[in-house]
Amino acid sequence: MGSGWTRMFVRYRWVVVALWVLLIASTLPLAAQVTKHLTSGGFEAPHSSVQWATTALNQIHARNAPPTLLLQNMPPALAEGLGARLHIGSSAFYAMGPNTTLFVPPPQLLLLQSRQLRHLVTQHHGSTTVVSQSAVGNVVTHDASTTLLQSGVIVIPVLVVLLLLVFGSVSAVTLPLIIALCGTELVLACVSIISRYIALSVYLTDIVSFLALGVGVDYALFISTRYRQNLDAGLSIEESIVDAMRHAGRSVFYSGLAVALAVAALMFGNDAYWRGLALGGAIALFAILLATHTLLPAVLGLYGRQVNWGRIRRPDFRFWKSLSHWVTRHPVWAMIISLSILLPFVALAPQVRMSTPANLATMLPRSSVLRQAIAKQQTLEGAGSIAPIAIAVRLPTPLTHDASWSTVSGLDRHLQLLPDVAAVSSPSALPGSSRNLALAMRHPSRVPAALRLGLENFVSFHNPHLVVLYVIAKTGPNDARTGLLVNRIDSHLAGWLPPGSFAAAGGLVPVLHSFNQTTQQKLPLIIGAALAVALIVLTIATRSVLQALLGVALNALVALATTGFMVFVSHHQLLGFTRQPLDSSITPLIFVLLFGLSMDYEVILLHRIQEYWHGNRSLNDAVEHGVATTGSMITGAGMIMVVVFLALLISPLQIMKTFGIGLSFAVLADTWIVRSLLVPSVTTIFKGASFWPGRRVGQHSLPSSLP
């Protein structure tokens, strides 16, 4: 943004602040309702056969069957006694603990009996939870939503202390908090509006909020630090702000643009989940950029020289001057030390496996009673019973014709002959011939109630061309053989049905199986787009093709090391992780954010080096001075980001832990190793060619006190 705009924001600072207060106040109710329209779904690719099948399932109004129940605060003996009152045998009750009982309804149990049992349990001060994938999804949604509030309560006090150490004054600490909180509130309000029209994931709130908070603090830190140093150099308040925005603000703009475009690369994921994250992440960055380039200059103008009020004694940061001097004198050793830290993790990267679990219970901690109940249910009823594969079929002739029912019976037989199929639930098992079933479809009110209710589990009387069969696999939803079974079913369906038919597998297992396959296929494109963004933005920002190529190469190195670190943590079950594949719904996002966030530190460092180099200093002096003056700021900003992301480790969900620990390692590796050692050492080794094809532009020397 030009100096003229900055001067206007400073001179009319009260107007700018008032407009922002009005904006925040008017959007606060929207931000408070951000989770209202979010969903744990959205994994279907648009216009795919899986999406069609899953949509078709919504047309089937299945009869409510008695559910499996988890009875808490209910000893097994007492639960059996309550069941005896309703003539339910003790074999339906299984002890899950001294005060927890699993109730698996017998085949002939009536829905009324199940409701009466739940009422009796409540009367005896117990509670009931339906054991299903839907119930687990609700728990996951609730835990993901509450993580934001809980982690915020934990992270803010730690963040304030860290900010005091980095900024060195009480007044200055408020600057990044104002920008981060205003930007976060604005992006949550935008997400709340968009989620009413586009399917957005429930994980979006945590991700974009912590992204906005972390980036907002970083950007405010870079600009306000430059402003305060300008004041110390004797510049006026207005000129200090204009110079800070001209230099640090320019770096922040390129960094924010890089992050926003990198996140936007997730659009290539080609489903509502990735589109939502791409849209939400991009909005978060633009909201923060808007705040840093409009509100921050106005607030700095209001603070004036009082920005230094409440100075505190800080640690002596001469460490960075000593380190930068050593790196420029021993660049090869700096490279060797850096690579010796990162390469062992890089070696583990090929072992990575990514998969979003179709058995949602495995997303919960092992100590979760609901997860244990679903595992027990699998033991009792079969591994695949918790998530049947729904086969939606659209027939060319309606089910009011006898021939259509013969087709359904034939499909039933074909499915039962497939390997790894434990059972098939279809209307063919209902009593009556094809003629009777066709008659029931023509005149549902004239057939016995039992037959009509049975049909409602498989057909829609409003769409007589549609029928659904359910395949129960021998293996669990997360098992690779179940995924192969889905592929086998899809490949054979067309050959088993008459011309004019259309059929596809739908439901939780096929949806997530398709999502995992699509994500793995699209991941190279997503990462490639993020790398291309990094290359283009770095080239424009530094006017150096060589530095842009080196930046992309080093980003890739950190990405591989981060992948290896997550493999290491998962394999050794550290930090509360269990040994399971990394979730494919979050891991690509870590890579994309890494490529974007690394631009913050890369652009800030290279701009500072170029500034000194163009000020008629030698390249070695420029590199040394650039690292010495930005080292504490960059690593301090990185530590702020790490604190923000590590707060996600309080979540009971491994998916959120993966996001937190992955980005934390990436930021630490990027700030402490790549920006502190690798970039300055490589720049020193390449000497004057480091900024090829850019040329050195002689300028007046800068005041030595400026950053």
What's the rounded mean pLDDT across residues 643-661? Answer: 82
> Count of CB atoms within 10 A of residue 30's CB?
18
Domain 376-512 homologous superfamily, CATH: Multidrug efflux transporter AcrB pore domain (3.30.70.1430)
pLDDT of residue 699: 43
Q: For the chain, give the percent of residues with pLDDT over 90.
A: 34
Residue 702 binned pLDDT confidence (cut-offs 50, 70, 90): very low
| Alpha-carbon gap, residue 313 to 554, rounded angstroms | 35
pLDDT of residue 190: 85
pLDDT higher than 60, residue 701: no
Q: What is the SS3 assignment for 461-478?
A: CCEEEEEEEEEEECCCCC
Q: What is the SS3 assignment for 294-308?
A: HHHHHHHHHHHHHHH
Residue 270 binned pLDDT confidence (cut-offs 50, 70, 90): confident
What's the rounded mean pLDDT across residues 31-55? Answer: 78
pLDDT higher than 50, residue 447: yes
Give domain 3-32+135-360+513-691's CATH architecture.
Up-down Bundle (1.20)
pLDDT in tens, 96-127: 989 999 999 988 888 888 899 999 999 999 99
pLDDT higher than 80, residue 595: no
Q: What is the SS3 assignment for 476-533?
A: CCCCHHHHHHHHHHHHHHHHHCCCCCEEEEECHHHHHHHHHHHHHHHHHHHHHHHHHH
Q: Where are the beta strands (DSSP E) in 369-462?
A: 389-394, 421-425, 459-460
What's the rounded mean pLDDT across residues 628-646? Answer: 84
pLDDT of residue 707: 39
